[in-house]
Structure 1
Amino acid sequence: MKRLVVAFGFLTRLPIPRVAADMTDFAAAIRWYPMVGLTIGGLVALAGWAGTLADPWVGALAALAAWVAVTGALHLDGLSDLADGCGAAHGDRTRLLAVMADPHVGSFGVVAIVVQLLAKLVLLHGVANWWPVILVPFAARIGPLVWARWVPPLREGLGSAVAGAVRLRDVVGWALVLAVAAAVVPPLAVALVLVAGWWWWLKARIGGVSGDCHGAGIELVETGLLLALVVGGF
């Protein structure tokens, strides 16, 4: 239970009680990321449904605002850093990592954030029902378990500790839950392709994974799943 609280404290801005935790607890908290995603999805869907009572675009904006607020834009920051690194690197991996480590936001990062927010806003407006949206953040947060286990960490520290904390049964267990969810909402099956695609890209382009890579992957998988819901009529 303590590690679930740690996961909520790390991934959200919800008022969570403080608990004493060490590096092992922070690393093992990754096993609970999909559960945190369900809570995030519930709040996003609730905000969207409430906003839609006034207007569909208000609903989409309310859902997006709730999404950013509850996560504290944590994953958008990772997407921004990765975009800056890829945009400035020109194939130089050393420069890519150096730019990703820079706390300043560059033009590529700003563009990535704007495009990502616009994409989510439009897609949230396009969903036919709000309840399947609950499952989008859940499915996307299965990704870090896969990437942490099968992509080497870029740096020592929490990243390498997380890699050792993900057990095969954690991945299999959440994958089975996803399979059940996909039986009800078939477009969620696209998560398997999106997670695997990001794994391949990290291996081929970056050669490892970091917190920024996890955050960027979560954002992109979420957008891909929203698109799948819209195309699938959900």
Structure 2
Amino acid sequence: MMRGLLIAMGFLTRLPVPAHAYDDPRARADSLAWYPLVGLLLGLLLGVLAWLLRDTASLLSAAMLVAAWVALTGALHLDGLADTADAWVGGMGDREKTLAIMKDPRCGPVGVVAVVLTLMLKFAAVASLGPAPWVALLLAPWLARASLTALFLTTPYVRSGGLGAALADAPRQPCMAALVLSAVGCVLLGWRGIVALALAALVLALGRRACLRRLGGFTGDTAGALAEMVEVAVLVVLAVR
């Protein structure tokens, strides 16, 4: 099971993990249950950085936090967001055309705009969180990765041979346990955690519905887009207070 954690960390972050962790094919499927914990780890790292930057001007601190966020994740989900935005607009409602555009490595203007708007909203939200931003910084990446676990458990993966194909066979019980523990943790954080949990569930439901209508399931790119949308939604709502 620990190899599953290492694989989850290696895929979702740019934190170094031993190369031998990838030798076990079964561990790839087991890694899905560890996604929420990796999100929690990202949130803790961001919270520590926010504490270290507590005496820095709010705008500069927010810019550094968002930059660190992108660096820690390798812009993995931002890439999926860009591809999904391009495909959703360019696909014009056609399933096969949408899937074909998502496979194109080039980024179109819609994808660029989606990434810019996402980073702008994250920056503005982080700058508006006030003197104790750690709760929102903890919840956003945590719930975003938990939403990916929930998405794989409830929705067909339609890209045969894609990066997420191995996760389709993930054991359900550990994944469900991880989601339950994440929900309990959010509730223990008080009203902010409860609001963030409800909001993440809503974004997941809407994103899943859109993917089922257009594709009959989801791809790795749409999963990345979902993670970004959950992060933005949680940050913005908690910043608005």
- Could you tell me the TM-score, scaled by structure 2's length? 0.89
Provide, for residues 157-213 of structure 1, a one-character-per-residue CA deviation record: whole Å limited to 9, x for no partner: 343331221405522542343233234233222222222222222212332111111
Matched to 1:120, the amino acid is K
Paired residues for 1:59-208 under 5 Å:
59-128=61-130, 129-132=132-135, 133-157=137-161, 158-184=163-189, 185-189=193-197, 190-208=199-217
Letter in 2 for 1:8: M
| Structure 2, unaligned runs of 5 or more | none
Question: What is residue 16 of structure 1 aligned with on the other side?
Answer: 17
* Distance in 2 (alpha carbons) for counterparts of 1:150 and 1:63: 32
Secondary structure at the aligned position of 1:116 is classed as: helix
RMSD of aligned alpha carbons: 1.7
**Are 1:57 and 2:62 counterparts?**
no
Q: State whether residues 4 and 32 of structure 1, in contact with CA within 8 Å, keep that contact through their aligned partners in structure 2.
A: yes
Is 1:7 aligned to residue 8 of structure 2?
A: yes
Q: Distance in 2 between matches of 1:108 and 1:10?
A: 26
| Inter-partner Cα distance in structure 2 for 1:173 and 1:7 | 13
Unaligned runs of 5+ residues in structure 1 are: none
Q: How many residues align?
A: 232
Question: What is the CA distance between 1:97 and its match in structure 2?
Answer: 0.6
Equivalent residue letter for 1:187: V
Of the three residues 225, 231, 238, the one matched with 1:222 is 231
Paired residues of 2:146 and 2:182 also in contact (CA < 8 A): no
Q: Deviations over 1:108-151 (max 9, x none)?
A: 11111111100100011111322201122111111111211221
Q: Which moved more, 1:136-145 or 1:177-186?
A: 177-186
Q: Which deviates more from structure 2 when the two are superposed, residues 65-74 or residues 121-130? A: 121-130
